[in-house]
Structure 1
């Protein structure tokens, strides 16, 4: 009765309960249960945070590749404290300004951002001709060049740009997917097979399934020898749509 009275008081004041029952009140006061919807993938949640808040709150798009980036010697931006003839960073292109030299040659200045910081990268005409197409806003890239640091700021004079996906392909490590059954079932595996079919390539895939119906739970590991995929951020997104956030890693 108290719950009903409280809900009536809230309705009289034009308020909505932000937390609690998954119901929406219609104009006539009747309650309609809200439909169940799939959870956001990590990428979808981060994109929403960036759009709504102007920053990433729960993580960063580059985080899922951190292990491979560390293995490849890619620096976190916040660790860049000394000038260097060659330095490599990885992140998302958050800003881009297209410019022209006095001779009219196209160039650009982009901002590359990872979880801990951001770095201005100057792309002069020669590098721009080779890599300008890779530097769209929201692209995940690794960037190599000469690191300059003065009293005001640090900047990278770009000599090479690669998609992060290329780093994963070169590393040759398998896509590792972790599942728990239940809730995973045959339909989950069928959905994964469909995902793999949309991303053909040369990358290996490994599954780890925790069988919760056993006592104690049993872990089964298997390499899918007949499955090959193209490692990419889009593949990771599609796997997370089926298996949930945090279900995959590279190697």
Structure 2
């Protein structure tokens, strides 16, 4: 869900790169759903502790201007993403709701700094669809890969037969990782998948 931030809120400039993740407004209660959730907001409070084994982990509170949520960052993720966690940093967190918590609390699986997503948004992923590939089955496979890798990079489809270029909506932007690219290349061929920095 998008468009839930207050006008002039610091997150407004990130709406295009947030959209593919369909973040939940922080004013909503996370408790009723067991599925993976995405949250976008500004870090308002941050504390770190060491576990009994000496590993560092973090607890943070984030806001989107309308609500707030607590986030737990366990040691494995903290080692990868701890450098992104500073007060007032705009972040996007993907994780699962903490069922033991009375309030809004997310157990983080991955964290993105919104400025990093914005930088990647300057790239474009071009997918060429040949006449042979222009069928429902192939296009559904492409769509499945795109939906599996939400991220900041816009996707352009070029239909070779009609000589027509279509830019997919912001909700269909991708995280153009090597795995994402290779899966698309497997479906369309390597010559038909091009990632360009504009």
For Structure 1 versus Structure 2, the TM-score category normalised by the shorter chain is: 0.5 to 0.7
In 1, distance between residues paired with 2:59 and 2:89? 14
2:18 aligned with 1:69, yes or no?
yes
Structure of higher RCO (CA pairs closer than 8 Å, 6+ residues apart): 2
Kept after mapping to 2: 8 A contact 1:83/1:148: no
Secondary structure of residue in 1 paired with 2:19: helix
**Structure 1 outlier segments of 4+, above 3 Å:** 169-174
How much has 1:163 moved relative to structure 2?
A: 0.9
Root-mean-square deviation (Å)? 2.8
- Larger-gyration structure (1/2): 1
Aligned pair count reads 120
In 1, distance between residues paired with 2:113 and 2:29? 21
In 2, distance between residues paired with 1:72 and 1:151? 24
In 1, distance between residues paired with 2:120 and 2:24? 18
How much has 1:129 moved relative to structure 2?
A: 0.4
2:31 aligned with 1:79, yes or no?
no
In 2, distance between residues paired with 1:80 and 1:173? 35
Secondary structure of residue in 2 paired with 1:78: coil
TM-score (norm 2): 0.52
Question: Matches of residues 120-139 of structure 1 in structure 2 within 5 Å?
Answer: 120-139=70-89
How much has 1:78 moved relative to structure 2?
A: 1.7
Question: Matches of residues 209-220 of structure 1 in structure 2 within 5 Å?
Answer: none
Question: Matches of residues 1-251 of structure 1 in structure 2 within 5 Å?
Answer: 59-81=8-30, 82-149=32-99, 152-172=102-122
Q: Aligned in 2, Cα 1:80/1:167: closer, same or farther, shift over 3 Å?
A: farther
Kept after mapping to 2: 8 A contact 1:63/1:115: no
How much has 1:139 moved relative to structure 2?
A: 0.7
Q: Which runs of 5+ in 2 are unaligned?
A: 1-5, 125-152, 154-198
CA displacement 1:103-155 (0-9 Å, x = unmatched): 12111101111111111000111111011110111111111111124572121
Q: Which runs of 5+ in 1 are unaligned?
A: 1-56, 175-202, 204-251
Q: Aligned in 2, Cα 1:101/1:61: closer, same or farther, shift over 3 Å?
A: same
In 2, distance between residues paired with 1:60 and 1:71? 19
In 2, distance between residues paired with 1:112 and 1:71? 20
